[in-house]
Amino acid sequence: MKLSDSEKRDICNLIEKGQNIPEKYRFLLFDESKQIELKWNGKSDEVSNIVLPFQIIEQIDEPRTEDLEYDQGIFNLLEGRQETGWTNKLIWGENKYILSSLKNGPMRDEIEKEGGIKLIYIDPPFDVGANFSMNIDVGENSYEKQPNVLEEIAYRDTWGLGSDSFLSMIYERLLLMKDLMHETALIYVHCDYRLNASLRLVLEEIFGKDNFVNEIIWKRTNNPKGSQFKERFFGVATDTILLFAKSPKYEIDISKVKRALNPEEIKKKYNRKDEKGRYYPGPIVRSKSMGLRPTLVYEYQGYTPPPWGWRLKKEDLIKLDQKGDLGWTENGNPFRKLREEDDEGAPIYNLWDEIKRVSSPIYPTQKPNTLLERIILSSSKENDLICDFFAGSGVLAEVAERNNRKWICSDLGKFAIHTTKKRMINVQRSLKKESKNWRSFEVLNLGKYQREYFLENEYKQNELVKINNKKIKINDFENLLFTAYKANRISGFKTLHGKKGDDFVSIGPVNQPLSRNHVEEVINECVKNKVISVHILGFEYEMGLFPTIQEEAKSKGIRLLYKQIPIDIFDKRAVQKGEVIFYDVAYIDFKYHIENEMLSVELLDFAVFYNEENFNISEKLRPGRSKIVVEQGQIIEKKKSKDDLVQEKLITKHWHDWIDYWSVDFDYESKKEFIKSFDEKKSVIEKWTGNYVFENEWQSFRSSSLNNKLEFKTSKIKINKKNTKIAVKVVDIFGNDTMKVIEVKI
């Protein structure tokens, strides 16, 4: 330490007075101080070390179990279950807590047994003005779904303090990702002109300047923004992908990929087809001479090439003919067919200008499969574990599955998880049809454990601060809930906690499903105090709670409304904005059929009552324009004529218009849900939660590849038990799921 006596005295005086030490002393006091460092408001080196158990919500082994003839070795043919090997993971939740739990929790052991994470690709929300709405199909119409509040907070309030907020968010997550990566692993970070300079500095600080591998420029060949900015500056047609390694031991093999040719380019370049439908560019001949004359290549353009351009030795013609590469022109001239495969040797540079954007994306920021395929094939090997923690619609998961990679994907958006689940079931179906291998995958979240964690902490200046007094925690949570639900707290009752207008409000438990006992206590208290209407709020509801308990309440003159408490409730910013939506709990009706020990299920009804606050929508509409809205449990198209008259058209004509997806577990409660945790000796222990995993054995859902048609009756499944429980899960067009269980005696 090279400090003079006067400098030492100055530092001591500043510390005693509680004043800041000048920046110059940082380099004198600390030997390993970074000479070049990116600084921003709110930057912190603190990294989350929280460990929350993962709940298994659903498992999909086989896409549809009516056909079990194909055996890929890891499945039990009789049950259609994967018995061995890695199960891919689709995780819903805040990726900071997911990454921290992966890094510090028991699942770290599972990851290490698979050889560690070899590749990470992320496409974080780098566009402050991005529109994260998406179109969803309702009957024969399309409805623009807005992001839920949690997605809105995540994607927009990430930018609450401008780029400083985004950098703080991504910095902590990149630190967590680095710790999870194998020594030979690579990370690709997708961004654009807004943040590529800052992100590169962040990545250099975390991974080291020497571990920078490439700056890849992706030129979107069908870029829609090109003309948008032409009057202000040159149109933006590129994104940046920053490639870093964890260490110099990284592995990459660009020989595994080739330059992609899209169909339009193939048709333009290869303007003819052979008998097998393969494109080639008209006649090309190669003339060989006995001397040192170079090979000549001539493209036939509709006229006979000169004799020196097509004259080949007889043995050359025979070889071409044997390979199927010999063709003849109308004038009887031979040519060698040139096909797409001949471009395999073309070098790939860091300018990727032939990969098109997705023309009709199912998710706003969706990237093309060909882009992810190039990254995955060049930067990982078969059976490697690869990850995407901003998964969106699940492109990485699909490309990984089709190329025999194991994967973990996560996203904050519930609709993103639902979209990815449907995508991966389609992939399973496709691979099964082609008699190719696939892996099962499970849907996980942090569920009630994340709720408990939020309940034990409080947001202060965008940080979670521990609260030690349990009464304060519960009181603060209830106040937050009443504010969001626009209700007032009351006292003097056991199960009635507030009032909303003339109706009472009852709050269910945070860390377990709202039970029949709770509802019965509410009914008894209502009878005792002559209360006729109660809103019951719960995070989860006990299976089989409806509709018998509803009939019991109705017989006693009591009206019960069940509302779903969204996870958004724990974000005070969402509450303060008044944007937290409490959805009504949906109702499912189905019946089963038994014929010769063969069981099938028929979906009969699905009831929801949704409502959006579309204030002054009629006034906001411009003449000639229309908008789809949700009002009083129906989806309605409102259209304004040129003379300012608003016409309404009902979109949800049938109960099934609300359904996007439904699935069946024919033997529910056959697989217990276990969570893993550490004991005092840091050994992994398993504990049954008392719940069961929903095993997705049959499903039907809306998909463009399936013409958006739903089936309402399952195929027949052979049942070898006298008693079983059937669970039916329905996911509505907004991504909210509801499940009903009934017992069956065969």
DSSP string, 259-277: ----HHHHHHHS-EE-TTS
- Whether this model's pTM surpasses 0.85: no
| Residue 249: φ, ψ to 5° | -85, 10
**Per the domain annotation, does 44 fall within a domain?**
no
Which range has the worst mean pLDDT, 103-112, 215-224, 519-528, 612-621? 612-621
471 sits in which H/E element: helix 470-485
Q: What mean pLDDT is predicted for residues 46-71?
A: 77
**Per the domain annotation, does 355 fall within a domain?**
yes
Query: Distance between CA atoms of 560 and 524, rounded to whole angstroms?
Result: 13
Domain identity same for 578 and 631: no
Domain identity same for 214 and 82: yes
Domain identity same for 514 and 637: no
Give, in order, the Cα–Cα distances in Å from 37 to each of 197, 208, 318. 13, 11, 66
Q: Is the pLDDT of residue 551 over 70?
A: yes
Give the residue with greater pLDDT, 452 vs 478: 478
pLDDT for the residue 248: 94
Q: How confident is the model at residue 689 (pLDDT cuts 50, 70, 90)?
A: confident
**Per the domain annotation, does 39 fall within a domain?**
no
pLDDT for the residue 290: 27
Length of the chain: 746
Query: Distance between CA atoms of 626 and 622, rounded to whole angstroms?
Result: 8
Domain identity same for 156 and 22: no
Domain identity same for 526 and 671: no
Give, in order, the Cα–Cα distances in Å from 207 to each of 112, 151, 729. 20, 29, 44
Quick check: 83 and 71 in contact, CB under 8 A?
no
Q: What mean pLDDT is predicted for residues 275-292?
A: 42
CA angle, 62 then 675 then 418, to 5° = 45
Domain identity same for 608 and 730: yes
Quick check: 519 and 506 in contact, CB under 8 A?
no
**How buried is residue 291: exposed, middle or buried, by Cβ count under 10 Å (0-12/13-18/19+)?**
exposed
Cross-strand partners of 687: 675
**Per the domain annotation, does 50 fall within a domain?**
no
Q: Is 560 in a helix, a strand, or coil?
A: strand
Domain identity same for 374 and 510: no
Query: Distance between CA atoms of 288 and 642, rounded to whole angstroms?
Result: 73
Helix axes 369-379, 395-402, angle to 10 degrees: 50
629 sits in which H/E element: strand 626-631
pLDDT for the residue 326: 61
Q: How confident is the model at residue 608 (pLDDT cuts 50, 70, 90)?
A: confident
Give, in order, the Cα–Cα distances in Å from 15 to each of 7, 24, 30. 12, 15, 17
Query: Distance between CA atoms of 329 and 253, rounded to whole angstroms?
Result: 40
* DSSP-derived secondary structure letter, 340: G
pLDDT for the residue 580: 80
The number of helices, as runs of H, and strands, as runs of E, in the chain is 19, 41
Q: Is the pLDDT of residue 460 over 50?
A: no
Q: Is the pLDDT of residue 525 over 90?
A: yes
The first and second tokens of residue 665, run together, are 């577990």
Q: Mean pLDDT highest for which of 242-246, 618-622, 712-716?
A: 242-246
pLDDT for the residue 591: 94
Which range has the worst mean pLDDT, 21-35, 117-131, 655-669? 21-35
Query: Distance between CA atoms of 316 and 302, rounded to whole angstroms?
Result: 24
Q: Is the pLDDT of residue 428 over 50?
A: yes
Quick check: 417 and 738 in contact, CB under 8 A?
no
Quick check: 119 and 376 in contact, CB under 8 A?
yes
Query: Distance between CA atoms of 696 and 694, rounded to whole angstroms?
Result: 6
CB-hemisphere CA count at 13 Å for 688?
6
Domain identity same for 126 and 274: no
Quick check: 482 and 476 in contact, CB under 8 A?
no
Q: Is the pLDDT of residue 306 over 50?
A: no
pLDDT for the residue 474: 73
Give the residue with greater pLDDT, 63 vs 228: 63
Q: How confident is the model at residue 547 (pLDDT cuts 50, 70, 90)?
A: low
**How buried is residue 238: exposed, middle or buried, by Cβ count under 10 Å (0-12/13-18/19+)?**
middle
Comparing C-alpha atoms, which of 215, 214, 208 is closest to residue 246?
Answer: 208
Give the residue with greater pLDDT, 540 vs 212: 212
**Per the domain annotation, does 135 fall within a domain?**
yes
| Residue 293: φ, ψ to 5° | -60, 130
Domain identity same for 534 and 575: yes
Sign of the torsion formed by the C-alpha atoms of 466, 470, 475 and 481:
positive
Q: What mean pLDDT is predicted for residues 431-454?
A: 85
Place of tokens 């919500």: 57
Query: Distance between CA atoms of 124 and 378, rounded to whole angstroms?
Result: 22
Give the residue with greater pLDDT, 437 vs 314: 437
pLDDT for the residue 161: 55
Quick check: 55 and 447 in contact, CB under 8 A?
yes
Place of tokens 């997911």: 98
Give the residue with greater pLDDT, 345 vs 721: 721
Q: What mean pLDDT is predicted for residues 585-613?
A: 85
pLDDT for the residue 619: 60
Q: Is the pLDDT of residue 380 over 50?
A: yes
**Per the domain annotation, does 45 fall within a domain?**
no
Q: How confident is the model at residue 276 (pLDDT cuts 50, 70, 90)?
A: low
- Number of domains into which the chain is organized: 5
CATH code, domain carrying 532:
3.40.1350
DSSP readout, 634-658? EEEEEEE-TTS-EEEEE---SGGGG
Q: Is 488 in a helix, a strand, or coil?
A: strand
pLDDT for the residue 188: 98
Comparing C-alpha atoms, which of 543, 490, 497, 550 is closest to residue 520?
Answer: 550
pLDDT for the residue 293: 27
Which range has the worst mean pLDDT, 458-472, 609-623, 696-710? 458-472
Domain identity same for 567 and 668: no
pLDDT for the residue 639: 81
Give the residue with greater pLDDT, 249 vs 271: 249
Give the residue with greater pLDDT, 64 vs 512: 512
pLDDT for the residue 521: 93
**Which of these three, 324, 343, 362, is where a domain ends?**
343
DSSP readout, 537-551? EESSB-TT-TTHHHH
Quick check: 566 and 581 in contact, CB under 8 A?
yes
Query: Distance between CA atoms of 311 and 297, rounded to whole angstroms?
Result: 11
**Which of these three, 343, 362, 395, is where a domain ends?**
343
**Per the domain annotation, does 49 fall within a domain?**
no
- Beta strand extents in 467-547 (DSSP E only): 488-489, 498-500, 503-507, 533-538
Q: What mean pLDDT is predicted for residues 8-22?
A: 83
Amino acid identity of 165?
S
Percent of residues, the chain, with pLDDT higher than 90: 34
pLDDT for the residue 457: 65
Which range has the worst mean pLDDT, 236-245, 325-334, 472-481? 325-334
Query: Distance between CA atoms of 603 and 169, rounded to whole angstroms?
Result: 44
Domain identity same for 210 and 102: yes
Provide the Cα torsion 47, 51, 53, 58; round to 10°: 10
Give the residue with greater pLDDT, 287 vs 341: 341
Domain identity same for 129 and 224: yes
Q: What mean pLDDT is predicted for residues 602-627?
A: 70
Give, in order, the Cα–Cα distances in Å from 708 to each of 213, 523, 704. 43, 42, 5
Quick check: 693 and 56 in contact, CB under 8 A?
yes
Average pLDDT of the chain is 78
β-sheet with 181-191: strand ranges across: 351-352, 212-219, 238-245, 181-191, 117-122, 385-388, 406-411, 88-92, 441-445, 55-60, 694-695
**Per the domain annotation, does 85 fall within a domain?**
yes
Q: How confident is the model at residue 463 (pLDDT cuts 50, 70, 90)?
A: very low
Q: How confident is the model at residue 36 (pLDDT cuts 50, 70, 90)?
A: low
* DSSP-derived secondary structure letter, 514: B
Comparing C-alpha atoms, which of 91, 121, 84, 100 is closest to residue 386?
Answer: 121
Q: Is the pLDDT of residue 307 over 50?
A: no
Q: Is the pLDDT of residue 296 over 50?
A: no
Q: Is 4 in a helix, a strand, or coil?
A: coil
Query: Hey, how many other C-beta atoms are within 10 angstroms of the C-beta on 588?
Result: 21
**Which of these three, 343, 359, 379, is where a domain ends?**
343
User: Could you report the per-residue pLDDT of 566-584, keeping only the tens digit for each?
Assistant: 877 877 777 777 778 787 8
Q: Which residues lie closer than 8 Å to 25 by C-beta, 6 or more apart?
A: 7, 11
425 sits in which H/E element: helix 414-433
| Residue 235: φ, ψ to 5° | -60, 145
Percent of residues, the chain, with pLDDT higher than 70: 71
Domain that holds residue 10: 1-33
| Residue 45: φ, ψ to 5° | -90, 0
Q: How confident is the model at residue 612 (pLDDT cuts 50, 70, 90)?
A: low
Comparing C-alpha atoms, which of 581, 586, 487 is closest to residue 533?
Answer: 487
Query: Distance between CA atoms of 544 and 194, rounded to whole angstroms?
Result: 51
pLDDT for the residue 266: 53
The first and second tokens of residue 52, run together, are 């929350």
